[in-house]
Amino acid sequence: MSGEPTVVVYGGSFNPPHVAHVLAVAYVLSTLELHRVLVVPVYDHVFDKDLAPFEQRISLCQAAFGWLPQVLVSDVEAHLPAPSYTLQTLEALAREHPDWKLRLLIGSDVLHEKHKWQRFDRIEAIAPPVVIGRQGHPHPDAPFCPLPEISSTHVRSLLRSPSSPARDAELERLVPSRVLGIIEERGLYR
């Protein structure tokens, strides 16, 4: 790879990160020529979502993504004004790293909700989106992507439910083992 480094920014609540998040990053790493994927957990969600503490989500993201080459978990949003807007995060990264060619990794569901984002036109100019298709959210501008349909909401619901062989097996299928180990060790999402 030559020229300016291409950095794909993957933001989200990651509350908690699950295997579909990891697979999305692996998909991008294997299909695009890039230098790095920057995983950016949201610090303070603009829609007031109830989130686990930022430091815990950073730790969970490091467990989920840290083993992947070319992937870095960033706490950039902790140093920006709240609430966290994707536009301000991308502008801060562009100022801090003017040599980076930024791209933004989003799911096809976002294409249906661009009107809810602050200045999506400006986001597209700073970091042209890399769109991954999501099951249940078809869009003509989104390629097919064979990612499983998993949500952090469902994972949190399982974590709050009583332990059983079926529940434990489902969690093991949906959550990276390192992440699940930290969640269990610290009693998170109970």
- Domain membership flag for residue 169: no
Residues in the chain, pLDDT under 70: 1-3, 46-48, 111, 135-140, 146
pLDDT at 135: 67
Residue 38: CATH number of its domain: 3.40.50.620
The CA distance from 11 to 2, in Å, is 26
- Domain membership flag for residue 176: no
The CA distance from 38 to 9, in Å, is 5
- Cis peptide leading into residue 81 (ω within 30°): no
pLDDT at 144: 72
pLDDT at 50: 80
Nearest to 20 by CA among 152, 138, 179, 136: 152
- Domain membership flag for residue 181: no
pLDDT at 84: 78
- Domain membership flag for residue 190: no
Whether the model pTM is above 0.75:
yes
Question: Which residues are CB-neighbours of 106 under 8 A, at least 6 positions away?
Answer: 129, 130, 131, 132
- Domain membership flag for residue 164: no
Q: How many domains does the chain have?
A: 1
pLDDT at 148: 81
- Domain membership flag for residue 129: yes
Paired residues of 39 in beta bridges:
10, 73
- Domain membership flag for residue 155: no
**What's the domain range around 75?**
6-149
